[in-house]
Chains A and B, each alone.
Chain A
């Protein structure tokens, strides 16, 4: 069991959470995490990954972030971070970058989750939308989800599992051990329940594979 997991077991005290700050809405994630009482590091260099207990890859433009991941030598360090069992969450562009398979992205991302993601799946900006969704593991009512030129998760392969769908069955969130991917942006709505769930993922993994 790693240090962070035992930390979770004893008390869910303040963690140091990294937000990949190459491009996108990293400040919004930062503000949510700070409101929850956690410490936040904006990550712009691979060596900064050593300082953090969990990582969020924010929304943004996936082509831009994919290029900056490569040009800044982040691809292998991010893969290694995902393999540590610490919680890693990709929102929107971040979800695209975590997927092993992506339609319509001209650069490799981090490629660690067993999901297939379709970029810009709902159309152009005028088709961006909000909806109330049920997310497995989230209690006390539906989650208000904001979708912005959003991707959908076309396929989820074990051990990854779908945890949220639209009314028509489209998968918009999935998890796989310590990894979480959402098509939408919980950092924009003031609802912290998914951020709280995310920070428990490492523990769940540690229990599953002691």
Chain B
């Protein structure tokens, strides 16, 4: 008998996205440019993070009409963002036929204590993390894919690097512990014991882990792949650059050939101006998005 919405099919879609680039798009036209460039999925949202950052105010789930328009425009998977803890936005996105829901710190959180109980949904979820404990808490709640939070909308890769290195470092550290030290480690990580044991055993996260938040160039994408990312999300980096179609295609090639310096040099050439960007270190604490969620 056919079984839908199982853990294997939720995690499985993320496995199919690996080695690929997921691009933020705000219109069906953007979505087509992304698909044409070789995106393995698109993230449908009303404003790219750099505009959300600029505009301020409350950032919510996108208009269903706009999401439908993007679903109809492309044949690749379509993701969309719900606010942290806003399970009704997630219900709506599932009803629209979105392929993955991003419970995202880029939108204004709806709940300061609880994330969505993602086990209750047939649609799979991706969530952001800054460290291993946060990743495992989200997986415990049912996230079938993880990404670094990075610092969305800045075009500054420093936070994504920090978060990816932190996760990898904490995984390596777990592997050096003896079995009787794992309980205290789970307490310190504030993460479910069974998941901590699994990570120690397997030496990696139980689900696919992408890089996100600050990727703006082919070199950024390759850097994150070399640090252990399974693939990359690119938000403002494409459609805030001078040549979106060219940059998108170059980042796709760089993500496949992340170890091949000749290819990286070739695809990095002649792309025009990258997105302007903001140095994360210049931002006041209260403007950082990565601190949302826990």
Residues of A within 8 A of B (CB): 21-28, 44, 59-61, 63-64, 67-68, 71, 92-93, 104-105, 119-120, 124-132, 146-149, 166, 185, 188-189
Flag B103-129 by CB within 8 Å of A: 1 or 0 each: 000000000000000000011100000
B256:A22 contact, CB within 8 angstroms: yes
Q: Is A128 a contact partner of B77 (Cβ separation < 8 A)?
A: no
Asked if B94 and A60 sit within 8 Å, CB to CB, the answer is no
Residues on B with C-beta less than 8 A from A124 are: 97-99
Residues of B within 8 A of A149 (CB): 13, 16, 77, 99
Please indicate the chain A residues that have their CB under 8 angstroms from the CB of B257 in the complex. 44
Q: Which residues of B contact A68 (CB under 8 A)?
A: 38, 252-253, 256
CA distance A68 to B40 in the complex (A): 11
B18 pairs with A24, CB closer than 8 A: yes
Does B279 interact with chain A (Cβ within 8 Å)?
Answer: no
- Cα distance A149–B257 when bound, in Å? 26
Contacting pair B256 A128 (CB below 8 A)? no
CA distance A118 to B14 in the complex (A): 21
Cα distance A112–B95 when bound, in Å?
38
B46 interface residue, CB < 8 Å from A? Answer: no
CA–CA, A166 to B2, complex, Å?
9
B16 and A92 within 8 A (CB): yes
User: CB of B1 within 8 A of chain A?
Assistant: yes
Stretch among B3-11, B186-194, B281-289 lining the A interface: B3-11
Please, which residue of chain B has its CB at the minimum distance from the CB of A92?
A: B16
Identify the closest chain A residue to B6 (Cβ): A130
Interface string of B10-38 (1 = CB under 8 A from A): 00110111111000000000000001011
Q: Is the CB of A23 within 8 A of B256?
A: yes
Interface size on B, residues (CB 8 A): 39
Q: Which 9 A-B pairs have the closest CB atoms?
A: A125-B99, A61-B40, A128-B9, A129-B2, A67-B38, A23-B19, A25-B15, A148-B12, A124-B97
Complex contacts, A188 vs chain B, CB 8 Å: 8, 12, 15
* CB within 8 Å for A24 and B35 given contacts A63-B76, A64-B252, A128-B12: no
A181 to B13, CA, bound (A): 19
Is B233 part of the binding interface, using a Cβ–Cβ cutoff of 8 Å? no
| List of A residues within 8 angstroms of B17 by Cβ | 60-61
Partner of A130, one of B2, B75, B97, B260: B2
Report the minimum CB–CB distance from A106 to chain B (whole Å).
8
Q: Is B171 an interface residue (CB 8 A)?
A: no
Given known contacts A104-B75, A126-B123, A131-B3, is B18 in contact with A60 (CB within 8 Å)?
Answer: yes
A44 and B256: CB pair below 8 A?
A: yes
- B20 CB contact (under 8 Å) in A28, A61, A104, A185: A61
Q: Who on chain B is nearest to A45 by CB?
A: B260
Known: A25-B16, A131-B1, A146-B12. A64 touches B40 (CB 8 A): yes
In the complex, chain A residues whose CB is within 8 Å of the CB of B39: 64
Task: Using CB atoms, name the residue of chain B closest to A144.
Answer: B8
Mask of B161-183 contacts with A, CB within 8 angstroms, 1/0: 00000000000000000000000
Q: 0/1 per residue, B254-265, Cβ < 8 Å to A?
A: 011100100000
Q: List 22 A-B contacts (CB under 8 A).
A: A21-B19, A61-B41, A61-B77, A63-B35, A63-B38, A64-B39, A68-B253, A68-B256, A71-B253, A92-B16, A125-B9, A125-B124, A128-B13, A129-B3, A129-B6, A131-B1, A147-B9, A148-B9, A148-B12, A148-B16, A149-B16, A149-B99
How far, in whole Å, are A26 and B6 apart by their CA atoms in the complex? 22
- Hey, which chain A residues are within 8 Å of B98, CB to CB? 124-125
CB distance from A46 to the nearest CB of B (A): 13
A119 CB contacts on chain B under 8 angstroms:
75
Given contacts A26-B18, A105-B75, A128-B5, 12 further A-B contacts (CB under 8 A): A25-B15, A61-B16, A61-B40, A64-B20, A64-B76, A71-B253, A126-B4, A126-B122, A128-B9, A129-B4, A130-B6, A166-B2
